[in-house]
Amino acid sequence: MRSRVRALGHPVHPMLVMFPIALFVTGFLFDAIHRFSHNAVFAEVGFWCIAVGLIGAVLAAATGLADWSKIPGRTRAKSIGIRHGLLNSLVLVAFLVSWLARLDEQNHAAGWGLVVLELVAVAVAAVAAWFGGELVDRLGVGVDEDANIDAPSSLGRANARGSVRR
């Protein structure tokens, strides 16, 4: 099943998801380092990593929702997709709470409660990522119907006979 949102022949959702995941994990790590080191720079960097991660997460969610809407109903893929999306929505909300709670804090520092919330959110993101892998690797969601180990480039154009040039 091809993805609904594509760029240069490839699904956009998998291209976008790596950024919020990496930024949320990095934000959590910088916040944890700040709690132990008391170096305000780590709190600031964590705060801004989360801010950019939130923007990326909204974009990834929009493309994921578009792709999910194309999955036929009453299938395992539809069920796995809703779990994947709901878990990632929880992650987004948790990091949004962390970010909003720090707006008025000196150096945008996160207290221990927010660091624990971020840790839980990172763990939930890992489970959501597994569901995403299940969708693609096991159920073939977002994989081009003509995919094979000798498939031509996605940038190729069809010639007059309908075959694709490499």
pLDDT of residue 79: 98
Mean pLDDT of the chain: 93
**Distance between CA 13 and CA 4 in Å, rounded?**
10
pTM of the model: 0.90
Start-to-end C-alpha separation, the chain: 22
- Report the sign of the C-alpha dihedral through residues 140, 143, 145, 150, in that order: negative
**Neighbouring residues of 141: CB distance < 8 A, sequence distance ≥ 6:** 1, 3, 67, 71, 77, 81, 135
Q: Is residue 135 within 8 Å of residue 84, measured between CB atoms?
A: yes
**Neighbouring residues of 40: CB distance < 8 A, sequence distance ≥ 6:** 34, 106, 107, 109
Residue 161 has pLDDT above 70, yes or no: no
Alpha helices in the chain (DSSP H): 13-37, 40-68, 76-101, 112-133
Q: Rounded to the nearest 5°, which phi and psi values hold at 11? A: -65, 140
pLDDT digits (tens, 9 = 90+) for 2-38: 788 999 988 999 999 999 999 999 999 999 999 999 9
pLDDT digits (tens, 9 = 90+) for 121-145: 999 999 999 999 999 999 999 888 8
